[in-house]
Amino acid sequence: MTCPTCNTPAKKFGKDRNGIQRFRCRTCKKTFLGPYKRPLDDMRLPIEKAVSVIQHLVEGCSIRTTERITGVEKRTILSLLALVGCRSEQFMAQRIQNLQVKEVSCDEIWGYVGMKARTKARKAISSKQLGDAWCFIGMERHTKLILAWHLGQRNREDTIAFTEKLAHATEGNFQITTDAFPPYKDAIIHSLGAQHVDFAQVIKIYRSNPDSETRYSPSVCIGCKKTTTFGNPDLSKATTSHIERQNLTVRMGMRRMTRLTNAFSKKWINLKHAYALQFAYYNFCRVHQTLRVTPAMQSGITDHVWTISELIQATH
């Protein structure tokens, strides 16, 4: 090693409390640490503890439950979630792009931050970081790979932001299926182009139920019809069942999305980080029961099942 102060040779001089090699300059006698990689940046949490915390979070444990089980303080857990969540979002955008796909299904899953929209309106709160939070999800039907996601409101602007991410993740011609949400039509034309996709929509018909029967569950679906929006889609393959099953996976794997509890997100950014971690874990670490491999393996993005430690360090 060369001393960074006087550029003369240095010799080994023991290790610090974290086991990192120290050096001492033969000339100026100053000590310094050798080059090393810190998988968690400035966090002093051991990587084994970090893996345990992430494992509990992706298996549906709340922040407080994870704190009790692992012994890691709540604020440290939230800092780790922010770090790994931010990295996971960037990692997904880098690894999942320009993929050849056949059939893509899209849907939105509802959640909320801090309070529901009705409470927000009653309290006359105007902050966009509170209230309803819709996550748009795009999934390849055959590989079960989450291609793109976007957290926002259920409106035209956020729908376009989602389809822009979907366009970044895919290339070539493919069939896309959504529900009857109207902004999808303009958003898909804007981002993907009518000449590149065959677009079908599944319109569900619900029975009108009394309020007492629909407070905690949706109305009963009594039928659906499939329509061709543009292109030449195969309506026999037009379905949103797979992406709706993915919504259940989200609610089972993310404690923040479990209904009728007090584990909901209190901050918008924490919910976004939790989604990023959930989808990265689902794509690369979790073996799909039907596929018997991970979605990333089925898509040819990777050749093995990733561990939590690999995911944390790959996003570094």
Please answer whether residues 175 and 103 qualify as being in contact, where contact means their C-beta atoms are separated by less than 8 angstroms: yes
State how far the Cα of 107 lies from the Cα of 240, in Å rounded to an integer: 8
| pLDDT of 38 | 75
Per-position DSSP letters for 135-148, written without gaps between them: EEEEEETTT--EEE
State how far the Cα of 260 lies from the Cα of 272, in Å rounded to an integer: 20
The residue among 276, 10, 42, 252 whose CA lies nearest residue 149 is 276
Mean pLDDT score, 163-190 = 95
| pLDDT of 245 | 95
Split at pLDDT 50, 70, 90, the class of 1 is: confident
Q: For the chain, what is the mean pLDDT?
A: 92
pLDDT in tens, 218-257: 677 777 899 999 999 999 999 999 999 999 999 999 999 9
Task: Please report where in the chains the tokens 């995911």 appear, as a residue.
Answer: 311
pLDDT in tens, 286-316: 999 999 999 999 999 999 999 999 999 875 5
State how far the Cα of 291 lies from the Cα of 102, in Å rounded to an integer: 17
CA dihedral 296, 305, 88, 258 (to 10 degrees): 90
Q: What's the whole-model pTM score?
A: 0.87
State how far the Cα of 60 lies from the Cα of 38, in Å rounded to an integer: 27
Q: Is the pLDDT of residue 152 over 90?
A: yes
CATH code of 47-314, in short, is 3.30.420.10
The domain limits of the chain are 1-36, 47-314
Per-position DSSP letters for 235-262, written without gaps between them: GGG---HHHHHHHHHHHHH-GGG-TTSS
